[in-house]
């Protein structure tokens, strides 16, 4: 359904312009009048709005996609169903940029580093979707958007599934250059199908060409099913060998031979930046058997049917071409048709010959083993692991769908397999960092029949406990609200070793977590700092602003603090005799006896002067058996992140600096250690021993290789009797 510019949908979304269109929808740029932001609106084409079953599936998948929240996924804001006007549309994040397909066409091809940088962003988005049980099913450069700031976002998560369930032909033929072999044969897909399609995308990024091409959609499908897997290195000799091998593994014909999870590919690409030669991949890349797979007559008919449907759907656009182009292409099309017919005839002949041999062999075996039960096989193939031995494998229609239950809840899996009367029973639970709590993560790989019961293992949630966002280490709000006893239970359930350090805190209640030395429980030597409550030797600085001088001194005395130097400054705005500023910010926790200086307004015509505090008496009471202590608990970001090809580590030391009799004195708190750039360093020292009688000091975090101060924190010291 075409929408006019300026039209307002549901009294909220004003259409600005048509951005583009695809097989299912029109995409418009619009303005959200309620939120005051630009959005993209994808409106389903009219032919899809007539099918209520499709609409229901489309809604379910779009709602699932709307739950995804990741910087590399195009966000879904709203899903609108206006049945009266037969209008169904999705409101999405508007990403200003171009598709990755256009970017590749403009660049020609990318070098290894750039391709890895883009791939890692895409992998992050796909991994988030897979963890939520969503398989894209239509991964291709056209569904990836490169924004103006270099961020790459993946679009149409979940929507491709609804389209696939509705009509395999449309989806298959529209994305034929990136389709996995199992999608081409059965229309079914799982996580590994997305990995295959992304492997094709990576191949195109590195070479500027699609891995398989041909004059017709059917010829491209044949290539995905039968042709040798192309190698990037054959076209681009200077490609990282590790990257070439990773792409090769993604594009294996058999799903079992690919990466089983997208994050495994991400790990290898990260390693490829440090080890381009790919030594870490030795023994992990499948051998290319380059076997020729025979297409069954039924599969051949399915592919021919898809081609016919594709040709019919393309007639409208073909009719719009001028007659001169049509006449010029006639002879070429006829030649292609003759070649295709000959290919099909040869393939059919080979299939018939093989079927005769198989049937003959089965009859011979039947008479040889009269007592053996006769099994009907839907198809047979040679095991890839034992290519030299002939093995018959029974493959039912059910097995082509069963992998789809991974990532679903038990109820969702039963609904998915309802037509087979399959029952799903949760027989075990395990922690899983790959799948969310409550979804199926594994089941016995057996041959199942209608009416069977499948015992599945369900995720108990993440094995790794996230303490705080490593990209925002200064926000520890949720960590400070975590009771250590609750966290301890989780750690023991997961058999995660840890150690505990107690520290005083003025902001975190006793028994709650102050900080950890790692952002999550996956790091080694986990240390957890737990609050012991407020130190009895620490007090909170009162707010002195607008107090009179005498009231300020009284407030400090009641708080067990000392009045420091008092400055009198002329000021036209503050009332004469009232406090304007103070040396230590209000509500800061400092040791008892700390001197707090403040300034007092002398009026608009007053003179500037200073009353120096008498602290000599206190200093003289200090004895040799008295020591001064402070503490610190904070985090420091070490750089902005890793850069490809650069040295991504730095040596960091921590020291205490104090001014003693006009000279700077240093004390090492931590010797130089190596850290990765981009991570955070937890600066936690519950008891720092300073010089007796010196009330302040500065803790410095230092780049030891250049002796440059990265960060510094002022600390107040208080005496303690020994």
Pairing of strands 499-503, 527-531: parallel
370 by DSSP, 3-state: which? coil
Active-site position among 81, 84, 111, 138: 138
Compute the C-alpha angle 693/694/700, nearest 5°. Answer: 150
With beta carbons less than 8 A apart as the criterion, state whether 257 and 384 touch. Answer: yes
The answer to whether residue 10 is catalytic is no
List phi, psi (to 5°) of 95: -105, 115
With beta carbons less than 8 A apart as the criterion, state whether 522 and 493 touch. Answer: no
* Burial status of residue 277 (CB atoms within 10 A of its CB: 0-12, 13-18, 19 or more): exposed
Pairing of strands 595-601, 562-569: parallel
With beta carbons less than 8 A apart as the criterion, state whether 465 and 496 touch. Answer: yes
End-to-end CA separation in angstroms for the chain? 83
Distance in angstroms (rounded) separating the CA atoms of residues 106 and 308 = 33
Give the number of other Cβ atoms within 10 Å of residue 577's Cβ.
15
Sign for the CA dihedral angle at 628, 634, 639, 641 comes to: positive
Distance in angstroms (rounded) separating the CA atoms of residues 677 and 683 = 16
Two structure tokens written together for 30: 């619009």
* b/e 162-194 (16+ beta carbons within 10 angstroms → b): bbbbbbbbbbbbbbbbbbbbbbbbebbbbbbbb
Residue partners of 310: CB distance under 8 A and separation at least 6: 169, 173, 217
List phi, psi (to 5°) of 205: -60, -40
Distance in angstroms (rounded) separating the CA atoms of residues 261 and 548 = 68
Distance in angstroms (rounded) separating the CA atoms of residues 455 and 461 = 19
Closest CA to 656 of 641, 667, 670, 671: 667
Give the rounded distance of the alpha carbon of 258 from its chain centre. Answer: 20
Two structure tokens written together for 213: 């091409």
Pairing of strands 453-459, 499-503: unpaired
Q: Known catalytic residues?
A: 138
């Amino acid at each position: 359904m075409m929408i006019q510019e300026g039209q307002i949908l549901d009294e909220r979304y004003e259409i600005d312009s048509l951005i583009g269109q695809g097989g299912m929808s029109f995409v418009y740029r619009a303005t959200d009048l309620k939120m005051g932001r630009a959005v993209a609106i994808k409106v389903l084409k009219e032919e899809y709005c007539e099918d209520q079953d499709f609409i229901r599936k489309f809604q379910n998948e779009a709602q699932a996609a709307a739950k995804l929240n990741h910087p590399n996924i195009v966000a879904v804001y709203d899903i609108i169903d206006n049945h009266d006007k037969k209008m169904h549309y999705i409101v999405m994040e508007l990403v200003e940029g171009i598709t990755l397909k256009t970017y590749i066409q403009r660049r020609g091809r990318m070098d290894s580093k750039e391709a890895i940088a883009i791939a890692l962003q895409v992998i992050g988005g796909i991994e988030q979707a897979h963890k939520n049980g969503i398989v894209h099913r239509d991964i291709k450069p056209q569904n990836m958007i490169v924004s103006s700031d270099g961020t790459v976002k993946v679009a149409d998560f979940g929507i491709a599934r609804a389209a696939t369930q509705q009509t395999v032909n449309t989806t298959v033929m529209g994305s034929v250059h990136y389709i996995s072999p199992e999608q081409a044969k059965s229309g079914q897909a799982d996580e590994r199908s997305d990995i295959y399609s992304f492997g094709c995308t990576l191949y195109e990024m590195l070479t500027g060409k699609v891995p398989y091409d041909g004059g017709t959609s059917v010829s491209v499908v044949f290539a995905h099913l039968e042709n040798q897997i192309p190698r990037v290195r054959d076209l681009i000799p200077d490609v990282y060998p590790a990257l070439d091998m990773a792409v090769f593994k993604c594009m294996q014909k058999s799903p079992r031979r690919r990466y089983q999870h997208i994050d495994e590919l991400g790990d290898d690409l990260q390693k490829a930046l440090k080890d381009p030669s790919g030594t870490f991949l030795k023994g992990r890349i499948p051998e290319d058997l380059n076997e020729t797979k025979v297409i069954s007559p039924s599969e051949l008919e399915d592919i021919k049917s898809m081609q016919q449907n594709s040709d019919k759907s393309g007639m409208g656009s073909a009719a719009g071409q001028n007659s001169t182009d049509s006449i010029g292409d006639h002879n070429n099309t006829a030649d292609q048709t003759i070649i295709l017919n000959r290919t099909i005839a040869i393939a059919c002949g080979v299939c018939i010959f093989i079927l005769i041999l198989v049937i003959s062999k089965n009859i011979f075996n039947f008479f040889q083993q009269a007592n053996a039960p006769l099994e009907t096989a839907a198809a047979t193939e040679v095991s890839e692991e034992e290519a030299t031995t002939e093995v018959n494998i029974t493959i039912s229609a059910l097995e082509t769908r069963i992998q789809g239950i991974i990532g679903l809840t038990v109820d969702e899996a039963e609904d998915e397999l309802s037509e087979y009367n399959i029952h799903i029973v949760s027989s075990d639970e395990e922690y899983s960092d790959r799948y969310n709590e409550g979804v199926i993560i594994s089941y016995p790989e057996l041959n199942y029949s209608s009416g069977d019961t499948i015992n599945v293992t369900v995720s108990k949630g993440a094995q790794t406990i996230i303490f705080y966002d490593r990209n925002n280490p200064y926000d520890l709000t949720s960590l400070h609200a975590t009771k250590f006893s609750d966290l301890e239970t989780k750690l023991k359930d997961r058999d995660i070793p840890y150690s505990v350090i107690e520290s005083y805190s003025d902001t975190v209640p006793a028994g709650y977590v102050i900080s950890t030395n790692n952002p999550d429980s996956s790091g080694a030597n986990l240390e957890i700092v737990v609050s012991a409550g407020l130190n009895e030797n620490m007090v909170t600085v009162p707010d002195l602003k607008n107090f009179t001088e005498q009231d300020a001194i009284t407030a400090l005395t009641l708080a067990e603090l000392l009045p420091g130097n008092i400055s009198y400054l002329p000021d036209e705005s503050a009332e004469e005799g009232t406090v304007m500023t103070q040396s230590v910010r209000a509500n800061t926790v400092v040791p008892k006896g700390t001197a707090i200086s403040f300034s007092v307004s002398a009026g608009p015509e007053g003179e500037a002067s200073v009353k120096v505090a008498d602290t000599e008496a206190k200093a003289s009471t200090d004895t040799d058996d008295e020591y001064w202590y402070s503490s610190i608990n904070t985090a420091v970001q070490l750089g902005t992140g890793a850069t490809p090809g650069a040295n991504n580590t730095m040596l960091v030391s921590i020291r205490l600096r104090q001014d003693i009799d006009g000279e700077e004195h240093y004390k090492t708190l931590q010797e130089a250690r190596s850290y990765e750039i981009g991570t955070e360093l937890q600066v936690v020292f519950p008891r720092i021993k300073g010089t007796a009688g010196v009330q302040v000091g500065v803790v410095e975090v230092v780049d030891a290789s250049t002796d440059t101060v990265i960060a510094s924190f002022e600390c107040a010291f208080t005496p303690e009797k020994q």
